[in-house]
Amino acid sequence: MHEFDLIRQIEPFAADHKDVKVGIGDDAAVTSSYAHKDVISCVDTICEGIHFKRSTLHLSDIGYKALAVNLSDIAAMGGMPRYYIVSLAMSPDWQEEEILEIYRGMNALAQHYGIILIGGDTVSSQNGLMVSVTVLGEIEKNRSLLRSSAREGDIVFVSGTLGDSRGGLELLLSRESAVPRTEQENALVGIHQRPEPQIALGQLLKESGCRIALNDISDGLSSETWELAEASNVCICLEEENIPVSEDATNLFGKQKGYEYALNGGEDFQLVGTVAKTHWPTIQSAAKEKGIRLSAIGSVEQEGSPQVLMQKNGERTVIKRAGYRHQ
Ligand code: ADP
Ligand code: MG
């Protein structure tokens, strides 16, 4: 496959927009910026054999997910994504049509959020495919929601249900794709393949104007809560029975495994955060009005040294920081 031919085929995915002064086709992209905004940027890379296999993701899901993981980071800052840049390293066994299908998956998600492809890079690799996506977003000046904002007395909350993606992966790895799946199984597989970044929730939390600490759950609740505790220098105590595990995951894997996936599974891309107790009811009902489930799962107990505890049947233990390790 010739690099220039591929880039020509990719170009139509880069929509025209007044804020994009130079898109694909020159040495670098040029976009407008606004004096009253901060720029939020992040990059995430997914590798064949590590983060996905051809048997766990459709081609379009690879693109969707490579972009979604970045949108999740933007959401966790309270920002709005605007532009994205894609770096590809691919081995000779990848065909042009397959790469374009990956772009179609990315494009579907990008269109949903009105995000524009403004450039990229294409190189060869000896083994497998690597897709690295950079997203540029924006937020009103000094309004980003940081991990370091948790304070004593805060409620710890989480969006949606946790562990579904890990459950979906388990189903994908344990069974031939030819075996038909039940509706419940398909729901979990769908969450693994096409996680929904929580942009709307990030916006709602930012708009509330409350002091909120926020992090997205890419590696499981335990390690993400540890990140909040460390950044804010606080002790957080979670209550196991309040952790939202879906009915689907509980039915398929049992209650205990469900908690295990929620704590240490990966790639839920929900948000975990903290907010003052007095503001919690307003935040929870504002989210509910938008159809977003928020659950209170614990509290910030004291400032001082970082710690994450789990309360279960009246007993407390320190949670190990055992985030999901990719294969
Ligand atoms: P340069 O050699 O100056 O770095 P390239 O020849 O690599 O430029 O790229 C030409 C144009 O095509 C640039 O605008 C670049 O952003 C874009 N581009 C290259 N590869 C990709 C890709 N995989 N996806 C999207 N745009 C790409
Ligand atoms: Mg150049």
* Residue 236 shares a structural domain with residue 115: no
CA atoms within 13 A on the CB side of 182: 7
Nearest CA to 225 among 327, 318, 287, 293? Answer: 318
Where among 140, 171, 196 does a domain terminate?
A: 140
Pocket of ligand 1 (CB under 6 A): 7, 10, 24-27, 86, 88, 119-122
Cα separation, 225 vs 64, whole angstroms: 26
Where among 140, 169, 192 does a domain terminate?
A: 140
pLDDT higher than threshold 50 for residue 157 = yes
pLDDT higher than threshold 90 for residue 180 = no
pLDDT higher than threshold 60 for residue 325 = no
Residue 218 among known ligand-binding residues: yes
109 Cα–ligand 1 center, Å:
21
Beta strands 30-31 and 116-124 are unpaired
What mean pLDDT comes out for the span 322-327?
A: 56
Residue 103 among known ligand-binding residues: yes
Give percent above pLDDT 90 in the chain. Answer: 91
118 Cα–ligand 2 center, Å:
14
What mean pLDDT comes out for the span 54-60?
A: 93
State the closest ligand 1 atom to the C-alpha of 86, by its place in the atom list counted from 1.
Answer: 24
User: Is residue 172 included in any domain, yes or no?
Assistant: yes
* Residue 53 shares a structural domain with residue 198: no
Residue 84 among known ligand-binding residues: no
Domain containing 136: what range? 3-140
Cα separation, 240 vs 232, whole angstroms: 22
User: Minimum-distance ligand to the CA of 84?
Assistant: 1
pLDDT higher than threshold 90 for residue 176 = no
Number of structural domains the chain divides into: 2
Cα separation, 87 vs 104, whole angstroms: 15
pLDDT higher than threshold 80 for residue 324 = no
pLDDT higher than threshold 90 for residue 321 = no
Where among 121, 140, 159 does a domain terminate?
A: 140
pLDDT higher than threshold 50 for residue 327 = no
pLDDT in tens, 61-112: 999 999 999 999 999 999 999 999 999 999 999 999 999 999 999 999 999 9
Cβ atoms < 10 Å from Cβ of 109? 22
pLDDT higher than threshold 50 for residue 22 = yes
Residue 73 among known ligand-binding residues: yes
Give the mean pLDDT of the chain.
95
Q: Whose CA is nearest to atom 1 of ligand 1?
A: 27
pLDDT in tens, 113-144: 999 999 999 999 999 999 999 999 999 999 99
pLDDT in tens, 188-216: 999 999 999 999 999 999 999 999 999 99
